[in-house]
Amino acid sequence: MTRTFDASTWGAPLSAAGDDILAGEVSLREESLRRKVAFYLDADGLPVSQSSCEPSEWYSTLVTRMTSVVISHGRAVVSIDAALPLHSSILDVAFPGSGSTGSMLDITVVDLSRHRRTLHAAIPSHLVVTGTIAVALSPVVAARKTTAQSHRPAIG
């Protein structure tokens, strides 16, 4: 099965190459092994270390390592070795180097701060703890409070 990556979701041009995922010429699996720390992909697909980013900077793709994987009763809980931006949701996940897709499951991603985000996505049939995970992020904008306007008849 060939995986496609929508740039509007992932923010960077990605492509499948066998079991791996490429950002241009960069193998996400190899880059994750080389860096050993989480990194974002900028709009051109170039890696940017998460630890060097200001809190106000935003990137759509985070690549990091899994520290725990539990699959049970049609659900998966995947702990990662990175902190997700606080005001973000997860649009999609991919598992560079993990082989072909197994099935669709509810996947809960747990970050270093123990924050959880759940989505329904494809997960490979064989995951390796310490394997690589790529996470497509979307900013969540806080809802603004609105006040109801009362319509009272004019007295007069």
| pTM confidence score | 0.86
**Quick check: is 145 in a domain?**
no
pLDDT at 38 over 70: yes
Question: Mean pLDDT lowest for which of 59-68, 90-99, 141-150?
Answer: 141-150
Q: Taking a C-beta distance cutoff of 8 angstroms, is the pair 134, 94 a contact? A: yes
pLDDT at residue 75 greater than cutoff 70:
yes
pLDDT at 154 over 60: no
Q: Which domain holds residue 31?
A: 7-139
CATH code at 92? 2.40.37.10
The answer to whether residues 139 and 55 touch, using CB atoms and an 8 Å cutoff, is no
* pLDDT the model gives residue 145: 60
Residue 53 included in any domain: yes
Q: Tell me if residue 4 falls in helix, strand or coil.
A: coil
